[in-house]
Structure 1
Amino acid sequence: MKKAIITGIGGQDGAYLARYLIDLGYEVYGGYRRAVSPNFWRLNELGILNEPNFHLVEFELTDPFNILSAVNEIRPEEIYNLAAQSFVGVSFKEPFHTASATGIGALNILEAIKTVDKSIKFYQASTSEMFGKVQAVPQSETTPFYPRSPYGVAKLYAHFITVNYQESYDIFASSGILFNHESPLRGLEFVTRKITNTAAKIALKKDKTLELGNLDAKRDWGYAKEYVEGMHAMLQAKAPDTFVLATGVTTTVRDFVKLSFE
């Protein structure tokens, strides 16, 4: 039975990926931060917490000794690094924490792989925020990066250190540059869930108004459940690489609102 570690297990992608891997026959170890009160409602929603092949494990990205110990004890075939301080606005208020958890965290995992077993495959969750000030439309794997936030910069470091360790130490390390991907498990702080949640409240006469910013802003929105399948596929490829996951279609916030109220 293959074993996999998923960091950021409490998030949307972590929950969907855990469900997908368990259904494929994996033994899954979900990494979470010990310093934070864990919130595993998504895992509960998908029926994961009661799975015999699922285990929770403390996995602190900023603690290289904790990571090394966990990787050495579990000896997984695959590690999926989905954890990060992922809010752009917060990254300006907490640049040091963002750099440490989001950027150096990836390095800590790669160092553990190099030390314990270089045959462990590694997936790094990169982001379209690395493109920042867009240099080309649409973006691809070869589009130059121009991040405009501490979060984007930290993710770019994690991305390139992944490439560097793949090239320098022959580690099977791939990055997935994911554009926006949504689901019912998305947090309410994201615009798509804010819209759908408020639309439901208005339909139930529990709310009257929906306040939004720029309705003409465009986003490439995909489905998170499909995107985690792409993450797994990247580690089953013949060789490691960088892959963009996107739909190739942009939709305005205005159109998303209209669809939500239909």
Structure 2
Amino acid sequence: MSKVLVTGASGQDGYYLINLLRQQGCVVHAQSRRQTHPSLHRDGASWHVGDPADRDFLDSLIASVMPDEIYNLAAVSRPIQSWGAPRETADVNAFVPQDICELLLKYKPDSRLFQASSSEIFGDAVDHTQNEQTLCAPKSPYGVAKLYAHRIVGAYRAQYGLHVSTGILFNHESPKRPLSFVSQKIAYAAAAVSLGLNETPEVDETGRPILLDGKMALGDLSVRRDFGFAGDYVEAMRLIVQHPTADDYVIGTGRDHSIEDFCHQAFSLVGQRWEDHVIVDPGLMRKVDSRYTRADTAKIRSVLNWQPNVDFQALVSMMVKAQTAIIRGSMS
């Protein structure tokens, strides 16, 4: 029975990964920087609260758990957020993965590591699709730090023969996404409209209600992303760790959709025209942003026989339905 440590486990990826690991009979230890919601403790994991950027805490955690596998999901999780905390982003996104590699050498060199990398390492890639060989040109502190982690894990693998791998994760969403992400913001607004709301209690990053006078404010609607389902992507993580040879893999769907497409799909599900409920706010336009991502998943499909099960339409549908249930529950 494998003993597994999931760092940064309180987000959506941690939720789906812990469920998967428990289903597969693993003993799961989970780390979060803050006390988790009580409902999370019913998932069968043992929770450890502390800052992974605190080297003493991380040393003690790995020394006490002695995990057979580590899934490092700990991160400052949004590129735009990283501009407000560039040093913290470097500490967590770049140096924590390196610290984990050092601690594996110290305590358990036969342990296997999955490092959550990101398509943000590519920046505005000139290629139509991005794969493991695509030139990296990140454009934010988040992307730069993730690229450092991506490269340093590969360096430790080559230098010491550690079984340490990275998954270059493209955008992955789920009903567990926070409202600070545009995908969930759109799903929430569509659900609110379907329930007859004209204004919502939840606010966006500017402090404006997500739905105000029946309208939601967004930035650049033409930005295109490879959107997948987080529940599918954690299955890819598990396959990567279980494979005999450590390596780097792109994880995505191979298809891209614009923010406008997401709006159209979400509002269509509730019988509405997105144009009637979405306005473009120039203040939400990002000066620095990756405008296009689309994964070339040939390697992970051929080597690990992985492919996503949830398509774009089903993903948006599950998110809108989940938000509808949440809002309806809050109204009762």
* Same fold, TM-score > 0.5, yes or no: yes
Q: Are the equivalent residues in 2 in contact too, given 1:91–1:151 (CA < 8 A)?
A: yes
Q: Is 1:205 the equivalent of 2:178?
A: no
Overall identity of the aligned pairs, in % = 37
Name the CA distance, whole Å, in 1 between partners of 2:241 and 2:144: 25
Q: After superposition, what is the alpha-carbon deviation per residue over 1:60-111, rounded to whole angstroms, capped at 9, x for unaligned?
A: 2212221121111111110000011122122122111110111111111111
1:99-118 equivalent positions in 2, closer than 5 A? 99-118=90-109
Deviations 1:164-190 (A, max 9, x none): 111111110000000000110011111
Task: Name the structure 2 match of 1:16.
Answer: 16
1:64–1:109 contact (8 Å) kept in structure 2:
no
Report what 2:248 is aligned to.
242
The alpha carbon displacement at 1:155 in A equals 0.5
Secondary structure of 1:99's match?
Answer: helix
* Structure 1 position 181 matched with structure 2 position 178: no
Paired AA for residue 30 in structure 2: G
Residue number among 211, 221, 229 corresponding to 1:215 in the alignment: 221
- Is 1:40 paired with 2:51? no
AA at the equivalent of 1:40: H
| Equivalent in 28, 31, 46 of residue 55 of structure 1 | 46
Which of 15, 38, 57 is the matching residue for 1:66?
57
Deviation at 1:133? 2.5
Q: Offset of 1:40 from its aligned partner?
A: 3.1
In structure 2, C-alpha distance between the alignment counterparts of 1:128 and 1:96, rounded to whole Å: 21
Rounded to whole Å, the distance in 2 between the matches of 1:88 and 1:50 is 31
Look up the equivalent residue of 2:45 and give its one-letter code: F
- How much has 1:59 moved relative to structure 2? 4.3
**CA–CA distance in structure 2, aligned partners of residues 58 and 108 of structure 1:** 18
Structure 1's consecutive aligned runs of 4 or more residues displaced over 4 angstroms after TM superposition are: none
Q: Size of the alignment, in residue pairs?
A: 253
**Which secondary structure state, in structure 1, belongs to the residue aligned with residue 41 of structure 2?**
coil
**Is 1:227 aligned to residue 270 of structure 2?**
no
Q: Structure 1 stretch 57-66 or stretch 211-220: which is displaced more?
A: 57-66
Unaligned runs of 5+ in 2: 199-213, 269-332
Root mean square deviation, CA, Å: 1.3
**C-alpha distance after superposition, 1:111-158 (max 9, x if no partner):** 111100100000000000000131322000000100111111111111
- Match of residue 149 from structure 2: 158
> Is 1:5 aligned with 2:5?
yes
C-alpha separation in 2, matches of 1:85 and 1:101: 7
Classify the secondary structure of the residue corresponding to 1:66: helix
Structure possessing the higher radius of gyration over alpha carbons = 2
Q: Name the SS for the 1:134 alignment partner.
A: coil
